[in-house]
Amino acid sequence: QVQLVESGGGLMQAGGSLRLSCAASGRTFSTYAMGWFRRAPGKEREFVAGINWIASMTSYADSAKGRFTISRDNTKNTLYLQMNSLKSEDTAVYYCAADIGAVAMGWDPPNLHKYTYWGQGTQVTVSS
């Protein structure tokens, strides 16, 4: 199985920045499409950002576009989410996820059902 471990969450004032990291196990990280999702209290898990296996394409939710940047370092088996201009609405548990079938079956970033492996989540709290 693929193990995913998020880090970098914390408490931040509105307008501030955080960078989340997701460390992945395995030798085939470079073949996984990766995504960031979040779940706010009492709400469904929602798509934040996605990136294909070689980082040639990215996708963002409207709420993230212009503020968040997803990236990956395949030499380090690590996924990142740079979050700038944070808002209180960004408060949520953030999860990274791996879609190991995207390279063969097609890339559909916001479809959470395509992601086979999930991290444990990291809490992001934004206060004003």
Q: Give tens-digit pLDDT for 11-49.
A: 999 999 999 999 999 889 999 999 999 999 999 999 999
- At residue 27, the pLDDT reads 84
Q: How far is CA 92 from CA 33, 55, 96, 122, in A?
A: 22, 25, 13, 8
- At residue 28, the pLDDT reads 92
Cα separation, 118 vs 96, in Å, equals: 6
pLDDT digits (tens, 9 = 90+) for 40-75: 999 999 999 999 999 999 999 999 999 999 999 999
- At residue 26, the pLDDT reads 80
- At residue 44, the pLDDT reads 97
Q: Which residues contact 108 (CB under 8 A, 6 or more apart)?
A: 102, 114
- At residue 1, the pLDDT reads 83
Helix, coil or strand: residue 118: strand
pLDDT digits (tens, 9 = 90+) for 93-102: 999 999 999 9
- At residue 115, the pLDDT reads 97
